[in-house]
């Protein structure tokens, strides 16, 4: 018996950008024993998605061609594997698709039960779906790497967040302010008031001399930098750090990893720390609760239908989105 088909977006090789994405009809995936099958309501794009297409994670990703990109999904459960205990058909959820297999930009997709969480009715699919990669990256950078207690119970820290108006950055500003922190943020001039509205104490226009030098207007030294931008050398960060300040690099390249290793070998107290996301369902559930309680919000830059997802891809590559780019089924 022929398998049911669904609409999806895929690419068949490295490169090509938006024009490399093709709308296709492919068989509906079957969930394994520990997986759920979701009918997509919304997906969100991350720079990770187009970097994989560009070959920047070769030879690790994608595992094979053709590849359906997309890791952040929200939708309704339509089928569950035999070992799934916590979900049933009809449940509304948000989840992370396994990046090895991909599959987010499709009418239906499978996710591991262990990386799927319930979405309460007060939180829309578009709001929830921004959280998996970007929200969890901000949370891991602050809570795990920088050691900030998000209940405000630790000693005050001075935090710098670069590219604060982007997907990770706008969550990082809000989460940092839940802790006992003084937040300095960088962004373009058009987003200064927006970043202040999220709670940042000081905002620098990255195109000004002061912004390019990352100098705190109040003369503070940073205990941690959540580095969401690219192309800023260690020599710019170093004089602005406190004695044991850390730069947490959310898009580490080989240079960042080598700098981290050298810092460890020389017992330097100032460190560049590469961050590799290790997603956990309990942390995603925590972020969803913050959204429901009004303590965290997803700022949506733009929305596109799945039939025009290549336009969303173009917007993401452009690199000037304010908040999250959403694709809706």
pLDDT of residue 236: 94
Q: Which of 169, 104, 102 is nearest to 135 (CA)?
A: 169
- Under a CB-based contact definition with an 8 Å cutoff, are residues 173 and 195 in contact? yes
Tell me how far apart the terminal alpha carbons of the chain are, to the nearest angstrom: 27
For residue 10, the cross-strand partners are: 22
Dihedral pair phi/psi, residue 80, rounded to 5°: -130, 150
Mean local confidence (pLDDT), 73-95:
98
pLDDT of residue 255: 61
Mean local confidence (pLDDT), 245-259:
75
- Under a CB-based contact definition with an 8 Å cutoff, are residues 152 and 179 in contact? yes
* Same fold across 5-130+298-328 and 135-274: no
- Number of H helices and E strands in the chain, helices first, is 10, 15
Quick one: CATH architecture of 5-130+298-328? Alpha-Beta Complex (3.90)
Q: Round to whole Å and give the CA distance between 105 and 7.
A: 9
Burial label, 58 (beta-carbon count in 10 A; 0-12, 13-18, 19+): exposed
**Residue-wise pLDDT tens digits, 272-321:** 888 989 999 999 999 999 999 999 999 999 999 999 999 999 999 998 89
pLDDT of residue 258: 60
pTM: 0.94
Q: Which of 251, 159, 164, 256 is nearest to 206 (CA)?
A: 164
- Pair of tokens at residue 120: 């309460």
Q: Round to whole Å and give the CA distance between 262 and 284.
A: 33
For the chain, give every domain's residue range: 5-130+298-328, 135-274
CATH topology of domain 135-274: Rossmann fold (3.40.50)
Q: Which of 150, 155, 145 is nearest to 174 (CA)?
A: 150
Q: Round to whole Å and give the CA distance between 309 and 23.
A: 9
3-state secondary structure of 235: helix
**Residue-wise pLDDT tens digits, 13-33:** 999 999 999 999 999 999 999
- Pair of tokens at residue 37: 């099958």
């Amino acid at each position: 018996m022929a398998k049911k088909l669904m609409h999806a977006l895929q690419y068949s090789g490295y490169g090509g950008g938006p024009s490399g994405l093709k709308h296709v009809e492919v068989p509906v995936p079957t969930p394994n024993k520990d997986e759920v099958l979701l009918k997509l309501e919304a997906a969100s794009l991350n720079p990770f998605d187009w970097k994989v297409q560009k070959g920047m994670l070769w030879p690790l990703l994608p595992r094979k061609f053709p590849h359906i990109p997309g890791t952040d999904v929200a939708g309704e459960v339509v089928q569950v594997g035999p070992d799934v205990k916590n979900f049933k058909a009809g449940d509304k959820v948000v989840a992370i698709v396994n990046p090895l297999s991909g599959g987010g930009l499709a009418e239906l997709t499978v996710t591991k039960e262990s990386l799927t969480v319930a979405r309460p009715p007060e939180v829309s699919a578009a709001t929830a779906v921004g959280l998996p990669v970007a929200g969890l990256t901000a949370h891991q950078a602050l809570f795990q790497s920088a050691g900030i207690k998000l209940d405000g119970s630790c000693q005050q820290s001075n935090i710098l967040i670069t590219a604060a108006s982007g997907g990770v950055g706008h969550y990082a500003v809000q989460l940092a302010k839940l802790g006992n922190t003084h937040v300095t943020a960088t962004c373009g001039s058009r987003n200064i008031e927006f970043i202040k509205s999220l709670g940042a104490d000081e905002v620098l226009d990255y195109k000004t001399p002061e912004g390019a030098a990352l100098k705190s207007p109040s003369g503070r030294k940073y205990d941690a930098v959540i580095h969401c931008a690219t192309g800023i050398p260690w020599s710019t960060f170093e004089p602005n750090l406190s004695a044991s300040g850390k730069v947490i690099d959310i898009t580490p390249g080989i240079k960042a990893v080598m700098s981290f290793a050298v810092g460890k070998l020389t017992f330097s107290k100032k460190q560049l720390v590469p961050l590799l996301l290790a997603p956990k369902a309990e942390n995603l559930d925590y972020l969803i609760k913050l959204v429901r309680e009004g303590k965290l919000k997803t700022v949506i830059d733009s929305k596109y239908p799945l039939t025009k997802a290549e336009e969303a891809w173009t917007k993401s590559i452009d690199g000037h989105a304010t908040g999250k780019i959403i694709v809706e089924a």
